[in-house]
Structure 1
Amino acid sequence: MRTFNNGIKLGLTIIGTTIGAGFASGREIWEFFSSYGTKSTIGIIISMMIFAISSVFITWISYKYKTDNYYEVLEILMGKTLAKIFDGLIFLYLFSGSIVMFAGSGATFEQWDFSFLFGVGILAIAVWLVLVFGVNGLIIMNSILIPILITIIISVTFQYNLSNQYFSGEYIRSHLKVWPSSITYTALNMISLLGVLSTMGKKIRSTTEMIIGGIFAAVFLGIVALMLNIALLKVEFVQQYEIPLFSLIPSHQTFLLILVTIVLWFAIYTTVLSNIHGLVHRVQMKWNYSANKISILIIISVIPLTFIGFSTLVKVLYPIYGVLNLYLLAVLLLYPFQTSR
């Protein structure tokens, strides 16, 4: 039973790392799956299968070699030379992703007439309070928040699907095959997963825990993704919504709108928590400071940058990350089959 419980906690941490604002808002589900039409269901199933396998592989490497951060896993996967190049890119990815999440928190609070800085500050305090407790704090927080987040999303999508029976039939990529998008979507999540799961090796007691965690995460992410996907397939002109999840809620249901806003903030919170957790453990490898001091330093570095426009940063970095993620996914999936291992 203890092994099972630890596996579930690991699974919730994997979900918390993956189910960011893009996923929870429905934006990622629309872009990568729903826009391909009814065949998107197959795409989600393919993606979740790859997701489960890759999550288990990262955790297994961390468990086998007792790694403390993502750089150690990179060295094992691709050798020192490539690991150094990827190390810098992954650090930038996690750092810039954290900036975007902090800005997202500020924007969320602005929607309800609070100041942008107040939203950024609330997130900063919430992140620091958890990271003080290291890996245990991350696991505990995900164990509390993720079941709430999943329950609310499933409730909203179930209610919408119950009252809307017909598909809209307007899908901008219905003429394309969905499986390449499934691989791209899984690759998109690899860096954040690597940042967190590479620190879990010393906490895991058996391979059973990581298998339970990987399968649990993939199944529940798959259920949420499928429920969201079916609902979005029924919304007319869904591509016009910046946050597709809001298209599932009648405008007069203010309480539900507030609830969904809270869900989106939780999704931002769990993602930035995982990103900064990965950064802290990487920095500790170079400088022997406490996690508390490094967390504060990173958060203080991020906050001023939330006020700058990031369109240029995104345009330059994201294409690089696309190639980086696909390469990392390929190396990871092939690793157990290398004859020299």
Structure 2
Amino acid sequence: MRFNLWQSVKISMTIVGTTIGAGFASGREIWEFFGSYGEGSSGSILLATLIFFAAIVTILQISWRNHTSHYSEILKVIFPERIALFFDVLVLVFLLSSTLVMVAGSGATFQQWNGSFNIGVLVMVVAVLVILFFDVRGLMSMNLVLIPVMTTVLIFVCFHFLHISGWSASWSETPPTSLPVWPSAITYAAFNMLSLLAVLSTIGKEVRHQGEIWLAGAISCGALGMIAYLYNYSLLKVKDLISQYEIPLFALVRDYSPVWVFAISFVLWLAIYTTAVSNIHGLASRLSDWVRLPHWLVGGTVLLLLLPLTQLGFATLVTYLYPLYGVLNLFILTMIMLYPFSSRSKKKSL
């Protein structure tokens, strides 16, 4: 098969769209995993980017070679069968809870706009269903349109802030943190791994040439690394203000007009949306193996079943659900990173 540059671009935008959720776009993840450690955190962003690249290429290689349709088939390649079944269930529960958080996040966003929580939830459900009608190609096309918009806004905000405040470092008097930063880089990469696994496992069959995998990984990780570095550098300049903002991004745009603030908050909603689409796509792909129905119908049914639970609230869901998956994420990331050197990989290549 011939190498297709455009296919690499579409895959890379899907990777970025899956990773830039509300936590990344709001600056909260960047600050908690990197900026809060001080000026030495820039190097850990590079480490996280390299881990991302290795994991993305490995998952896509497995998906491409095995023509996988969902994440369970990836797990069966990197784990023994019984362990794979155990993690299959855990990843399924993670995707369900993560989707629930994203849908509730849409409701919370509409509340910030002086709207209705329930309307925000329903808008998210309908918007996700529209993409599910077109399956994996709809997912890739959506990210191809939305991700350039989202990343452009985030880069513009950082550049504009740095242009006004000055590009030179201004935290030289800040005492260095006593904690090493590199473990946080590994934790951050692991934190995003399950959503990437769910999506990339469905994309391998879209790859026509191995070079598309490497280029998609390079483009996506280059974009994510650059944005994370700019974001982190900008947030370090307003480190004394971060505690005053639940969304650190607003510390960078505190002097912007209300119109601009609304536009930026809309970008945050889009980040929630792209993550929700990725998660529900991964869910529908897995469940369709058990329920022989179209993906959009499976995904729509899941969303409807989750609706009552959104009333628990966005903050409550994040507080109790996300920490539960820390160990799970780290273990799966470790197995993905070790797979190319494992005996299971060598047997596959024979």
- The alignment's TM-score, normalised by the length of structure 1, stands at 0.96
Partner of 1:75: 76
Partner of 1:325: 329
CA–CA distance in structure 1, aligned partners of residues 46 and 87 of structure 2: 29
- Can you list the C-alpha shifts for 1:217-276, whole angstroms capped at 9, x where unaligned? 000001110111011000023133110000001345112101111110010000000000
Contact 2:92 2:283 in 1 (8 A): yes
Partner of 1:108: 109
Partner of 1:226: 229
Secondary structure of residue in 1 paired with 2:62 = helix
Contact 1:134 1:277 in 2 (8 A): yes
Aligned-residue offset at 1:295 = 1.7
CA–CA distance in structure 2, aligned partners of residues 299 and 60 of structure 1: 31
Q: Within the alignment, does 1:208 sit opposite 2:211 as a pair? A: yes
Q: Within the alignment, does 1:338 sit opposite 2:342 as a pair? A: yes
Secondary structure of residue in 1 paired with 2:254 = coil
Aligned-residue offset at 1:116 = 0.7
Amino acid at match of 2:244: Q
- Can you list the C-alpha shifts for 1:102-149, whole angstroms capped at 9, x where unaligned? 111111111111111111111111100011100000000000000000
The alpha-carbon distance between structure 1 residues 220 and 66, as it changes in their structure 2 partners (threshold 3 A), is same
Q: Within the alignment, does 1:120 sit opposite 2:121 as a pair? A: yes
CA–CA distance in structure 2, aligned partners of residues 313 and 85 of structure 1: 23
Describe how 1:233-248 pairs up with structure 2 within 5 A.
233-235=236-238, 236-248=240-252
Partner of 1:188: 191
Contact 1:105 1:119 in 2 (8 A): yes
Aligned alpha-carbon RMSD (Å) = 1.8
Contact 1:36 1:172 in 2 (8 A): no
> More deviation in 213-222 or 232-241?
232-241
- Can you list the C-alpha shifts for 1:198-234, whole angstroms capped at 9, x where unaligned? 0112111111111111111000001110111011000
Match of 1:299 among 291, 300, 303: 303
Secondary structure of residue in 2 paired with 1:233 = helix
Q: Within the alignment, does 1:35 sit opposite 2:36 as a pair? A: yes
Give the total of aligned pairs: 341
CA–CA distance in structure 2, aligned partners of residues 61 and 170 of structure 1: 48
Runs of at least 5 residues in structure 2 that lack an aligned partner in the other structure: none
> More deviation in 301-310 or 227-236?
301-310
Q: Within the alignment, does 1:52 sit opposite 2:53 as a pair? A: yes
CA–CA distance in structure 2, aligned partners of residues 292 and 187 of structure 1: 29
Contact 1:60 1:201 in 2 (8 A): yes
Secondary structure of residue in 1 paired with 2:204 = coil
Aligned-residue offset at 1:169 = 6.2
Partner of 2:277: 273
Partner of 1:257: 261
Contact 1:169 1:233 in 2 (8 A): no
The alpha-carbon distance between structure 1 residues 147 and 171, as it changes in their structure 2 partners (threshold 3 A), is farther
Partner of 1:156: 157
Q: Within the alignment, does 1:145 sit opposite 2:152 as a pair? A: no
The alpha-carbon distance between structure 1 residues 164 and 313, as it changes in their structure 2 partners (threshold 3 A), is closer
Amino acid at match of 1:301: L
- The alignment's TM-score, normalised by the length of structure 2, stands at 0.93
Secondary structure of residue in 2 paired with 1:286 = coil
Aligned-residue offset at 1:174 = 2.1
The alpha-carbon distance between structure 1 residues 27 and 114, as it changes in their structure 2 partners (threshold 3 A), is same
CA–CA distance in structure 2, aligned partners of residues 171 and 146 of structure 1: 35
Match of 2:293 among 253, 277, 289: 289
Contact 1:108 1:119 in 2 (8 A): yes
CA–CA distance in structure 2, aligned partners of residues 327 and 123 of structure 1: 31
Aligned-residue offset at 1:339 = 3.3
CA–CA distance in structure 2, aligned partners of residues 159 and 190 of structure 1: 31
Aligned-residue offset at 1:168 = 4.5
